[in-house]
Structure formats: C-alpha cells, structure tokens
Amino acid sequence: DPLMGDIYSVLWEPEMLTSMGDTINILATEALTQGLQQLLGSTILMSLMSAIQLPVVLTKLSYPIDNPWAVSLDRATAAGLILADSLIDRNLGTRPVTLVGYSLGSRVIYSCLQELARKGAFGLVQNVYLFGSPIVVKTDEYLRACAVVSGRFVNGYNRNDWILGYLFRLTNGGIRRIGGLAPIEGIAGIENFDVTEFVVGHMDYRTVTKTRDP
C-alpha cells in the first residue's frame, strides 16, 4: 500500500475462531428470535447483567458458549506472546508497526503489548487501534501497554454490544469494566472512540473496520 506501507494479517487458531463465531451467531439468532436484543440495550444492560437469573433463552445457551469463550480468551493471550516475540525478532522488518484488532484480535494485541513491556521492548509499536476489546480494564496493565506505544492508542467501544457483555457475564461472574463496552478513563494516552452509531453488533466489527478510520 503506497500510504500505509506493508500490511499483514495475523492468522491464529482459525478453526477455533470459526467455531466461536458460529456459536456467537447462534446466540444472536436465538436472542433476536425471542425479541431480547432491545431488552439487552445499553440502559437495561447493566442492571440485567447484575441480576441473579438470566433470561430463559440465554440460560439455555450458557453451556455451549461458556467453555469455548474461556478457551478463546486464553488462546488469544497465548497468541499475543508469540506476536511479541515476532516483533522483537524483527520478522516483519525494522520499521515501527501499527496494530489493529477487533474482538479477540484486540486481546491478542493487548497481550502482545504486555509482553513487550515486560521485556522492555520499546520503539517497535507506533499506533494501536483496539475495537470491541474483551479485556477487563486494569489501570496498571493499560499503563504498561501504553508505555510501549509511541503514537496513538485508540479504544473503540460500543455501548450496546450486548453479546460482549453477556459473554463476560458468563465467564467473569459480572460485567465489571470492559474495554469494548465503555470508555477507558483516567489513563493518559488512551483515545476513546464511541463506535455505537457505526457498529450494530459485535459481529459487525469485521466489516466496519475495513471502511472507517477513527
């Protein structure tokens, strides 16, 4: 690309990602069928996620989603460690790189940044764009991640991403602060970008990130 330079895509766990995507689509289809998407909107989402009982249709889907999602989070973290080693070894050349990811891809990048910080590998990453991140916001971790990014660090979030909220309700026992659901506040260097008006649901990030630049 004459403007962006060399562009690479990271291929990691394709079978697992396909399976997870199919499972999420089942969840979305069932929820739409039952008319639950509006009930899980931004205003009601927080109170619903803190409730003891889940809606019946989502309770039925808990079993097939819970374990694959937890495994996917762990695999994404592991892939980030490998990506960090690849950047340190300069396998993609010597120029600073811009990392762009959505959903689990954001978690891969976040894990990569943590590993780069741990190894003191500065000057490798110029910009970072994370969208719909399945990452629990911990200030100390984000500060370490920002330390290895010399340029922009953008957090794209969707206030109405009920799928991401529900998945964390299953695996983390509560909604807590998730990077992909709300702005990350109190951390210098992070630019928050509300994509709610551009992204209808969690599965739309793949299409939208190809056409817009925050």
DSSP readout, 77-123? HHHHHHHHHHHHTTTT-SS-EEEEEETHHHHHHHHHHHHHHHTT--S
Overall pTM surpassing 0.85 (yes/no): no
Rounded to the nearest 10 degrees, the angle between the axes of helix 162-172 and helix 42-49 is 10
Cβ atoms 181, 46 nearer than 8 A: no
The two structure tokens encoding residue 118: 């741990």
* Per-residue pLDDT at 93 exceeds 80: no
pLDDT digits 0-9 by tens, 100-148? 999 889 999 999 999 999 999 999 999 999 999 999 999 999 999 999 9
- Determine how many CB atoms are found less than 10 A away from the CB of residue 34: 13
Beta strands in the chain (DSSP E): 97-102, 125-131, 153-157, 190-194
Using DSSP's 3-state secondary structure scheme, residue 7 falls into coil
- Determine how many CB atoms are found less than 10 A away from the CB of residue 194: 15
pLDDT digits 0-9 by tens, 170-205? 655 555 689 999 999 999 999 999 999 998 877 778
Rounded mean pLDDT of the chain?
76
